[in-house]
Amino acid sequence: MQATAPRATEQAPPAEILVERARRGDPRAFEELYRLHHRRVYALALRMTREPGRAEELTQDAFVEAWRALPTFRGESAFSTWLHGVAARVILRQMRTDRRWEERHEAVYLAEARRAMPDTAIALERAIASLPDGARAVLVLHDVEGYKYEEIARLLGVALGTVKAQLHRARRLVMEALEA
């Protein structure tokens, strides 16, 4: 989806107006929403997948899913919060169904990381990469992205206690891996 930026003299309408126009089927309004939000969705996908090309694909998939689901957006939260929930679900669903992809690319990723990062960062990346999907998702969303427990629970569709337990487990596993 290619979005064109407004000219310097034009100012984008407020997000609420863009969302309403997009809900009525205006593709230009949705393109503007894409332009406003794609970087943050891409950053989330990149942190979750650790692969720039895959993150770009998942960013596109998330926006396609958001376009389809836009009629369900009730405005009870900010559009960006709703969009990140859609993106997180798209990313996690794909990660669950494509575990082989992760295994094939882990060796390439670690080789690139070795050249680009010092030993400590490599060990940390390796520890995070070894986490189970759920624990890794919660750790990235909370400790890297800065989401609150309640937001993560809502995004992932799990109980608040599950988020806290997964985060505790993820941190413990990372620490154990770093100490080994």
- Shared domain check, 92 and 16: yes
pLDDT mean for each 10 residues of the chain (180 residues): 50 80 91 94 89 93 94 87 91 74 49 57 81 88 84 89 90 81
**pLDDT at position 49, please?**
83
Last residue of a domain, one of 79, 97, 115: 97
CA proximity to 164, closest of 140, 130, 138, 136: 138
Last residue of a domain, one of 54, 70, 97: 97
On whether residue 1 sits in a domain, the answer given is no
Q: What is the pTM of this model?
A: 0.56
CATH number at 86 reads 1.10.1740.10
